[in-house]
Amino acid sequence: FLWGPGLLITPVLDPDTSVVSAYVPDAVWYDYETGNKYSPRKTQIDMNLPADKIGLHLRGGYIYPTQNPANTTVYSRKNPMGLIIALDDNQKAKGDLFWDDGESRSSISSGNFIFYEFSVESNQLHMNATNAIYNDPNNLVFDNIKILGLPQSPSSVVVKNNGMETSHRQFTYDAALKIFHVTNLQLQLGQSYTVDWNSIVNDIERIDCHPDPDATQENCRNRSCIWQDPVSPGAPACFYPLDSSNGYSVGEIIRTDTGLSADLNIYSPALRFYPLSPAINHLRVNVTFHKNDMLQFKIFDPNNERYEVPVPLNIPSIPQSTSEDRLYDAEIKENPFRIQIRRKSTNTTIWDSGLPGFTFSDMFIQISTRLPSRYMYGFGESEPTSFRRDLNWQTWGMFAKDQPPGNKLNSYGVHPYYMCLEEDGNAHGVLLLNSNAQDITFQPTPALTYRTIGGILDFYVVLGPTPEIVVQEYTDLIGRPVLPAYWSLGFQLCRYGYENDIEVANLYEDMKAAKIPYDVQYTDIDYMLRQLDFTLSPKFQGLPDLINRMKDEGMRFIIILDPAISGNETETYLPFSRGVQENVFITWPNESEIVWAKVWPDYPNVIVNNSLDWDTQVELYRAYAAMPDFFKNSTAAWWKREIREYYHNPTDKTKSIHFDGLWIDMNEPSSFVHGTVGGQCRDRELNYPPYMPALESRNMGLSHKTLCMESQQHLPNGKPVRHYDVHNLYGWSHTKPTYDALLNVTGERGVIITRSTYPSSGKWAGHWLGDNTSAWDQLFKSIIGMLDFSLFGISYTGADICGFFKETTYEMCARWMQLGAFYPFSRNHNSIGMKRQDPVSFDEAFKNISRNVLNTRYTLLPYLYTLMFEAHAYGSTVVRPMLHEFVEDRITWDIYKQFLWGPALLISPVLDEGHRSVYAYIPKARWYDYYTGKDIKIKGRWYEFPAPLEHINLHLRGGYIIPWQEPANTTHYSRQNFMGLTVALDENGNAQGQLFWDDGVTIDAYEKDQYFLASFNASQTTLESSIIKNKYTSGLNLGYINIYGIGSSAVTSVDFQVNGAPQNGARFESSTINQVLKINLTDISVSLNNTIKVTWQTTS
């Protein structure tokens, strides 16, 4: 119900509930307690109201008089008064106040009262005392004014009374909540006042008009922009006027059931900032309502074909949305031109490009949008210092580069995608399908500004509404993550700098002797002859036999391949000669001459002097290298042939390298010279474009550490494209041919690990986080990296455990082994010249730490594999941010030093040197200690858990059932062991879970229905399984069931059934202290491809 027209009151009226189904009328509403604008309107919602809260909401458009409270009104009437001004959509409000002595019966008839009429319009409050006969004995004053929903921070406040003006300086502005609070006013009750606040272009509203380096006042004004020194660090001094028109007029807006379209025509010469990048005078904008949860808007030149990204997306051939079921409304608006997208259920605007500065020229395109909150995640690849992006004037470049991870440094991959949490916890995602060099400015408005130097603007928006559903919708658009081979979930070892195959063999034997779980061994470029692909160094002549022996013992092997192919060989080198014959290499425009790079291959017949500086070594020793154009079908066929002949050597079978996976590196593409050998690119404008995005070594141009931008490539249909446009797709184009070749050659699923990625790379490959450093901060940054790539649709990720560059320490490596045991891609790898850091290079205590945590990992592999399946089938995340499961808890929105496996396993590692405890947040659920099964009785708060050096804290969430298996030294043997189920009951005694199982290597096992899938459900004292798919039955022997949270009563009996028939022989034990029931089924033959039912009885 309402108090008058403005205060909406939503009480809890039922016992034992904290959620009320409430209707929110169609108006602007503010939370009374926080002043936060309430997004839902004209809808029924579930309002979360714990026992200490009643739903109170202020309607926009009204002014509410207040007074500081006291124990009785006798005393409260002596306290200062105030006003809460709740602005409506038009920044207006009105209200009134009646005041008398509170007791007299004749106040109104005698006129002995005070009456105010309040109104707000155009940043001015009028306090008009229409009757002021009553003289209050307490000399009351209006002490403060709080304005809700003010979009910009005022620069000054002026109070007017009886013709006198006074400037007032005691005020604050909350930019996030948009609340303006004026204090210590001392406005006498009964007198009339006017209060003005002057909203200037606040720093946070500025859109940078001169993103190039070295802006000057003269250059700024030449662009018809405003120059004013900012107050906030990082804010631009040169910015667009707020009333900037965006330069384009909007023609007729055509509306259909499936979208909108309009033509745009330029009329502002101010957009011509870059003489070498002419503005495009006529544009078209198309908005397409593809699905109820996904739309696209595209701005392009309708008269001239421009480059568009050749990455296929999963878009319906005919839009499938309906006006009734769409989660969004979209509009094209005029004056200024803008696109607005609004979530229908809450009326939240999630995209609004009405900010100034929209530009569309040949080599500079810019568009800005407001964000609905400051909780934005995504954009990569870089190395941010928190999962949530810092919106305090940060500009990130995106251009694939051989750049080790670093904050705001453009690195190996490009992902122009973000997810944003709205203030009410709803989420949406936005992809810009553009592969040109670009940068993004994040600012505290909150807003984003995109700048790209080519192509078109092609945006895709998914509406969620939960963060996890956003990822599912995004991966439905770009392609679901690949399902890796089961063995690839095992622990892996590599280093750059193995001397020979004997060193690798000795490491393998030492790991076996230490009984440390380990599935995959690598060799880096050391195994090659002079770092040439598809060759074998004399020092590694025993590698083929070693690989065969390791595989016979249940191991797997992965080799590295780089794209660069040497062109300086004095003897026949088939990969190059056949590549030339098939015309697979990148050339100069309209020529057959190769654009030569230099990467790892050395010249033949040279002795490398490693004491020389790097540039000298490159000049003296590195061979000319050709880069394959992987867009071409002929290149894919050539690449597959080279891979096949390395796997099955056609001339000497003893030299066949029977690898199981491929690790592709240096595919940004990387070069050790800039542009080409000799450094003479032929088109300066492409390599030093009119606007150079904010990239690492910005002053060096786009060809820094890669090819010349005018280099020519060809799409599969034969269409020529400039490297300028497709550079960011090189790793993407490299990945699928490699994946296809691996599957074709080995006949198994295997795994591809790639360094450079782009949206949809996850369909074929996993990704390691690059050449990191042995430093403590790299531990938590690796978590952020995995969380980022979870958003990007690449599930199989991890960092080099213990660090690649520099030397690790004992403690750091021990903690990193614990953390890395929970990377989906779990590999210890370091660089040449550094001391060893594999688990058997340390003492027995370290081996024990490694063995124990990896045994835990291997125990949980059935759960991890099921998560990988769910990612592949449904697009779910594997490494999951806490906010994905607990978005209603805003504390989780900023947590990135803990993470989840799926919904059920919480990992809280130690990330700091010398710490023997971890301060971890436990979300609002029932949680059990993973190791003991005991309910920790903590929820919704931070807690300091003991964490001695040998321990990592793991907790299971109540309400979930996770499958597991007895570990072994490799997955080949662990897959033959008994399986188990751990049932973690929630507060209501319920739990559910799934198990996916197949042979772990069959290609397209899910798509071919060659798998097993079962669901498990527990309720009170019963556990049952249901079989969803039963097309694979090997290795499903159930040996153990652990049930957590059974209560304090002792279990007296356990009944066990298979396919409805009772089974004898189940042994059990229960703990009334930990409240755990353990059931042992190893004495009876139970296969999970039969349905099971377990019932237990207690003394109560």
* 687 and 675 Cβ atoms separated by less than 8 Å: yes
Residue 984 CA, chain-centre distance (Å), reads: 29
* Residue whose pair of structure tokens reads 């099921």 in the numeric block: 866
Give the model confidence (pLDDT) of 615-652 as tens digits: 999 999 999 999 999 999 999 999 999 999 999 999 99
SS3 553: coil
Q: Please check whether residue 1098 is in contact with residue 994, taking contact to mean a CB–CB distance below 8 angstroms.
A: no
Is the pLDDT reported for residue 892 higher than 50?
yes
- Whether 270 shows a pLDDT value over 50: the answer reads no
**How far, rounded to the nearest angstrom, does the alpha carbon of residue 106 sit from its chain's CA centroid?**
67
Q: What is the pLDDT confidence band of residue 841, given thresholds at 50, 70 and 90? A: very high
| 156 within 8 A of 197, measured Cβ to Cβ | yes
End-to-end alpha carbon distance in the chain: 46
Q: Return the axis-axis angle of helices 730-746 and 633-647, rounded to nearest 10°.
A: 40
Q: Is the per-residue pLDDT at 269 higher than 60?
A: no
Percentage of the chain modeled with pLDDT above 70: 99
pLDDT confidence of residue 201 = 56
Residue 388, number of CB atoms within 10 A of its CB:
19
Burial of 177 (0-12, 13-18, 19+ CB in 10 A): middle
Cα 479 to its chain centre, rounded Å, is 16
Q: Are 185 and 146 in contact (CB under 8 A)?
A: no
Torsion, Cα of 139, 142, 143, 146 (10° steps): 170
How confident is the model at residue 267, as a pLDDT? 81
Which pLDDT tens digit goes with each residue over 970-1013? Answer: 999 999 999 999 999 999 999 999 999 999 999 999 999 999 99
Give dist(CA 470, CA 448) in Å, integer: 19
Give the tokens for residue 983.
Answer: 């049932």
Kindly state the average pLDDT of the residues 733-755: 98
Extended beta strands in 898-1001, E state? 899-901, 905-908, 917-922, 927-929, 941-946, 953-957, 960-965, 979-984, 990-997
Predicted confidence at residue 89, as pLDDT, reads 84
Measure Cα distances from 128 to 125, 239, 809 in Å.
9, 39, 72
Report the distance separating Cα 901 and Cα 856, nearest Å: 13
Whether 948 and 1007 have beta carbons less than 8 Å apart is answered as: no
- Give the DSSP H/E element, type plus range, for residue 810: helix 810-820
* Residue 606, phi then psi, degrees to nearest 5: -125, 155
Q: Which of 12-16, 37-41, 289-293, 841-845 has the lowest mean pLDDT?
A: 37-41
Alpha-carbon span 282 to 709, nearest angstrom: 27
Q: What is the DSSP string of 275-323?
A: TTSPBPSEEEEEEEEEETTEEEEEEE-SSS------------SS----T
Rounded distance between C-alpha atoms, residue 543 and residue 528, angstroms? 11
Residue range 22-26: mean pLDDT, rounded: 92
DSSP 10-76: E---STT--EEEEEE-SS-EEETTT-PEE---SEEEEEE--TT--EEEEETTEEEEEE---SSHHHH
